[in-house]
Amino acid sequence: MNATKAVARRRFSLAVREALVVLAAGAGLGLAYGALTDEGIFRPAAPPRGAAPLEERAGAMPEAPMMVSVDEAQELFRAGQALFVDARSEFDYGLGHIKGAVNLPLKSASKGASFLTDVPRNRVVVTYCDGANCNSSIDLAARLYASGFVTVRIFFGGWEEWRARSLPTEGTRP
């Protein structure tokens, strides 16, 4: 009985040691790859907010679309730099949308096409949809990014959070 327990203990101890080696090797490789390619946590930090307008920051190197909070979306709106793009249907957009937003329903934004051709590609675009229950803002952001926009932000809180804060809207039933 004691021998069985001893074997089980040895086995457990070996499994834990091996697991730690696997975790350390994976983490080490990840950090090394990130450091070598300037990716992940080693990605160069964005300039502090307010240091320069976002449009000036949008250079030749595109950044992958990133999420912004309602506070950051509000800040972008107030600065007047960003173009808000509503990914919802034309009907929902007509009822109410973020003031100044343009409508580009995800269904009409087919993959691989070029969108908003009259908008400069270095302009900051912020996509949104209903809120946490929809995914189309993320999908639309990916398509805008693929069509050449270098600074794409996703306002995931969307219409629900914007309206909850009583921020500027327009439409027939804003």
Partner 1 sequence: MKAILANDYFNWTLRTIVGLVLVVAAIDKAADPSAFAVSITNYKLVSEGPALALATILPWIELVTGLCVLFGVLRTGGAVVASGLFAIFAALMASALARGLDISCGCFSQDPGVGTISGIRILENVGLLVASILIARSDNGSFSVEEYITRQASRKEIP
Is 96 near partner 1 (CB under 8 A)? no
Residue among 9 and 42 whose Cβ is closer to partner 1: 42
Are 102 and 84 within 8 A, CB to CB? Answer: yes
Contact segment (CB under 8 A) with partner 1 among 10-18, 85-93, 117-125, 165-173 equals 10-18
Which of 125, 132, 124 lies closest to 158, judged by CA? 132
Pick from 6, 10, 21, 56 the residue near partner 1 by CB under 8 A: 21
How far, CA to CA in Å, does 36 sit from each of 32, 33, 45, 46, 62? Answer: 6, 5, 16, 19, 19
Residue among 6 and 16 whose Cβ is closer to partner 1: 16
Pick from 30, 53, 59, 168 the residue near partner 1 by CB under 8 A: 30
Pick from 6, 9, 23, 107 the residue near partner 1 by CB under 8 A: 23
Contact segment (CB under 8 A) with partner 1 among 80-88, 92-100, 113-121, 133-141 equals 133-141
Contact segment (CB under 8 A) with partner 1 among 48-56, 85-93, 116-124, 138-146 equals 138-146
Residues in Cβ contact with 54 at an 8 Å cutoff, skipping those fewer than 6 apart:
76, 79, 81, 82, 124, 151
Is 141 near partner 1 (CB under 8 A)? yes
The β-bridge partners of 97 are 170
Is 26 near partner 1 (CB under 8 A)? yes
What is the smallest separation between the CB atom of 47 and partner 1, expressed in angstroms?
16
CA 82 – CA 85 distance, rounded (Å): 9
